[in-house]
């Protein structure tokens, strides 16, 4: 089965840049989506197809994907960005797979 | 606006079944797949399966094959997920999510509010 590995936590000061990685075998050949989940709430799609943003998502959220690592970048971090973030891909052997999740803490 | 509204919390005994509903509004129900994702307390997201509301076709994660059934009622724009032979490990929040396909790449663009299913004797 296909496995996506994320760091358990990332800490960042307000105004700085947070980078959340998602590791998977040759993930650069797949389309990666990213979801934000705040406590007690449903996930929200923040980046799809590696680097596209749904309407209403700030430009501060961006994504990239190459080789064995995809990255979600949050620029000019705000207190409201504190949440869990999950990457997701589709794989022929595993169907839809989510990453292990990363908790972003704003210091 | 697009909304997915799920049924309320459930408490079930081990071995029982649970059926969660997901009512769609704000878009053409039969034009987008519905996926089901669950999340145990403090854990990550786990995809369970998908259903095409137009055809009724389904696809289930191997882990849930034989225990999960996804159906729909197009007249009321509602999808259902039934999980049988419940065990304590099935205690989780269950979400429905709309699958949006762009050139064959599917992301989950709208989610229901979640339904807590508790399995306890």
Which is more confidently placed, A34 or B103? A34
Buried b (16+ CB within 10 A) or exposed e, A61-84: bbbebeeeebbbebeebeeebbbb
What pLDDT score does A99 carry? Answer: 98
Asked if the C-beta of A7 comes within 8 angstroms of chain B's C-beta atoms, the answer is no
Average confidence score pLDDT of chain B: 97
Rounded CA-CA distance B28/B87 in Å is 35
Please, which residues bridge with residue A104 across strands?
A10, A83
Asked if the C-beta of A35 comes within 8 angstroms of chain B's C-beta atoms, the answer is yes
Residue contact B107–A95, C-beta within 8 A: no
Task: Tokens for A46, please give them.
Answer: 């923040």
In chain A, how long is the greatest CA-to-CA distance?
40
Average pLDDT over residues B37-46: 97
- The DSSP code sequence of A3-69 is --B--SEEEE-TTS-EEEEEE-TTGGGS--EEEEE-TTS--EEEEBTTTB--TTS-TTEEEEEETTE
Q: Which of residues 43-62 of A touch B (CB under 8 A)?
A: 43-45, 48-49, 54
Q: Among A47-51, A93-97, B108-112, B113-117, which is the least confidently predicted range? A: A93-97
CA angle B87, B90, B95 (to 5 degrees): 155
Residue A94 pLDDT greater than 90, yes or no: no
């Amino acid at each position: 089965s296909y496995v996506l590995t994320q760091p358990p936590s990332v800490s960042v000061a307000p105004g700085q840049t947070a980078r959340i990685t998602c590791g998977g075998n040759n993930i650069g050949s797949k389309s990666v989506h990213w979801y934000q989940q705040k406590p007690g709430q449903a996930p929200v799609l923040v980046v799809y197809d590696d680097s596209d943003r749904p309407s209403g998502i700030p430009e501060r959220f961006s994504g990239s994907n190459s080789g064995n690592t995809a990255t979600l970048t949050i620029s000019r971090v705000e207190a409201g960005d504190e949440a869990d973030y999950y990457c997701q891909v589709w794989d022929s052997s595993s169907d839809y797979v989510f990453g292990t999740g990363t908790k972003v803490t704003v210091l | 606006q697009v909304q997915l509204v799920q049924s309320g919390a459930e408490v079930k005994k081990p071995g029982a079944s649970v059926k969660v509903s997901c009512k769609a509004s704000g878009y053409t129900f039969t034009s987008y797949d519905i996926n089901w994702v669950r999340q145990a307390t403090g854990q990550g997201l786990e995809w369970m399966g998908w259903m095409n509301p137009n055809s009724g076709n389904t696809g289930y994660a191997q882990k849930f094959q034989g225990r999960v059934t996804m159906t729909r009622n197009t007249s009321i724009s509602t999808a259902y997920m039934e999980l049988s032979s419940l065990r304590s490990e099935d205690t989780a929040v269950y979400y429905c999510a709309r699958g949006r396909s762009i050139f064959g790449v599917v992301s989950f663009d709208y989610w229901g509010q979640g339904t807590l299913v508790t399995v306890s004797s």
